[in-house]
Amino acid sequence: MPVDPEYLLGEAAAERRRARKKRSRRRLACRCCCLLVVAVVVICLGCFGAAVTKALHVHDVELVDKRNISASTIQYTLNYSYNSNILPGQWIKYKAPSERVRDYSPVASDNGETTTLAIKVSNGVSLELARDVWPDSLVRISGPFPPLPDMLRSLDTSAARVGFFCFGSAITACVDPVRALLGHGANVRLLYFTRGPEQVLFRPQLDGLKNVYGDKYQVHYVYTRPGQEPDSPGEWTGRLDAAMVDGVFHDWYDFPARFESAGSAAAKSLTRQLVSSANHTGHWKDRVFDMPFVPGCCVEVLRLTEAAKHCPS
């Protein structure tokens, strides 16, 4: 049966129209996807820019309290809401009247409405703070850092068992991460090394966690001064060695565990060696994560030479 040429031409034209419509839809979809990607990028850049701007913004905050909490450490309480501005693991920058800047790890007050800094007085910025800054005066800070902490340095709150090794005034970098991990249901054990009981910082806060979390939380105060005797349960004397690690963490050997350390380079190096050489069954991460205790914070450097001799080879 003969086919009408005009019918064939009409069908061809219809096919071309359908093909043009498909191409138009694909181009429209492609443009929409590109616009969506651009919008997401702009939003991300805007959020990052806002976070960076907030971190770099200088705040003049009121100092509401200043007191000695040990022979060489002063605690400063700032009228700056910790809960509204800072996440565990972040730090702030203090700008001294001399224009020098120093980084410090803040600690939340019991209600989170103020921020405290525990600073060991030595020289430089810490000496300026001790000498020139008094209650009711304004303190110039910026931060917190890093901006967008969930992306740039997040505290792993998914771990079920976390051990902390904190040396001297580096405890300031550990107090709030310990609180955060306990709040997420983790089992936390803390070894806190100081020369003696008079140098223990934030003891009421650390001991108070035992009343809230019970067996999920253990804290051991280890005094390294020769001749120092423990005064109460939970206090030990001596140096960090393999026997101490075994005594605190032996029942974790068959389970995954994560470890954090804060202190001097020598202290953290010894911690890594002891954790790596412990008799666990392969579940532990050999890496000991460094708390974000940035250069410039006051760290009590412990004499660990003798302790290193006890480290298994």
- Token pair listed for 283: 């579940």
Question: Same domain, yes or no, for 99 and 210?
Answer: no
Last residue of a domain, one of 145, 177, 203: 145
Question: Same domain, yes or no, for 165 and 272?
Answer: yes
102 is in an annotated binding site: yes
Measured at the alpha carbon of residue 165, what is the angle toward residues 161 and 169, in degrees to the nearest 5?
Answer: 135
Would you list the DSSP string of the chain? -PPPHHHHHHHHHHHHHHHHHHHHHHHHHHHHHHHHHHHHHHHHHHHHHHHHHHHHSEEEEEEEEEEESSSSEEEEEESS-HHHH--TT-EEEEE-TTS-EEEE--EE-TTSSSEEEEEE--STHHHHHHHH--TTSEEEEEEEESSSHHHHS---TT-SEEEEEEEGGGGGGTHHHHHHHHHTT-EEEEEEEESSGGG--SHHHHHHHHHHHGGGEEEEEEE-STT----STTEEES---HHHHHHHHGGGTTS--EEEEES-HHHHHHHHHHHHHS---S-S-SPPEEP---BTB--PPP--HHHHHTS--
Region of residue 281 (left: phi > 0; alpha: psi -120 to 50; beta: else): alpha
- Stretch 7-28: mean pLDDT: 76
pLDDT tens, position by position, 226-262: 888 888 888 999 999 999 999 999 999 888 888 988 8
Higher pLDDT pick, 51 / 41: 41
Question: Same domain, yes or no, for 162 and 181?
Answer: yes
pLDDT tens, position by position, 261-313: 888 889 989 998 898 888 877 767 655 666 554 333 333 323 333 333 333 33
- 236 found inside a domain: yes
pLDDT tens, position by position, 158-167: 788 999 999 9
CATH of the domain at 131: 2.40.30.10
Please compute, for residue 255, the number of CA atoms within 13 A of its CA located in the half-sphere on the CB side: 14
- 12 found inside a domain: no
Q: How far is CA 91 from CA 48, 129, 226, in A?
A: 18, 17, 34
Phi, psi of 130 (to 5 degrees): -65, -35
Q: What is the pLDDT of residue 152?
A: 47
- 219 found inside a domain: yes
223 is in an annotated binding site: no
- 313 found inside a domain: no
pTM above 0.85, yes or no: no
Question: Same domain, yes or no, for 69 and 185?
Answer: no
Overall domain count for the chain: 2
179 is in an annotated binding site: no
Question: Same domain, yes or no, for 283 and 153?
Answer: yes
- 81 found inside a domain: yes
Q: How far is CA 31 from CA 22, 23, 24, 28, 214, in A?
A: 14, 12, 10, 5, 58
- 102 found inside a domain: yes
CATH of the domain at 204: 3.40.50.80
104 is in an annotated binding site: yes
Q: What is the pLDDT of residue 251?
A: 93
Question: Same domain, yes or no, for 163 and 265?
Answer: yes
Q: What is the pLDDT of residue 7?
A: 59
